[in-house]
Amino acid sequence: MSEAVGLAAEQEEFATESGIDFSYLLVIFQDTLGFTPEGKVAADYDAAIGSPGYPVMADVSGTSVEASPYDAEGVPGKCALTPDMVLLGCTTGHGASELYQLIEDHAAAQ
């Protein structure tokens, strides 16, 4: 959760430095016990990280991991999507430099 608290600042810094407008979308795929989360989990998480202004959702159907190359083995898992929902790639762990590079490369190719 501590990393999520700083995402809004990271988003602003990346957008300022790169000139690329983007937004985080946080999807919770499991609750604290490892089960498929209920909607309230997302509302509680959003409040706990200070309601950062980007969407925080619970994957109540349990399909987000299946629909991505992220295998849920390492956390946090992160994926980059284009505005038209093209999946650029996924990574795990803290930091997002690989994903920021994918976003920059995609924007440069447009």
Topology (CATH) of 2-109: Glutaredoxin (3.40.30)
Dist. CA 14–CA 44, nearest whole Å: 27
Q: What is the pLDDT of residues 12-66, one digit of tens each?
A: 999 999 999 888 889 999 988 989 999 999 999 999 999 988 899 999 998 988 8
Per-residue pLDDT at 102 = 93
pTM (predicted TM-score): 0.81
2 pLDDT more than 80? no
Express each pLDDT in 79-96 by its tens digit: 888 888 889 998 888 878
Give the start-to-end residue ranges of the domains of the chain: 2-109
Cβ atoms of residues 58 and 38 within 8 Å: yes
Rounded to the nearest 10 degrees, what angle do helices 97-109 and 7-18 cross at?
40
Q: How many CB atoms lie within 10 A of CB 38?
A: 13
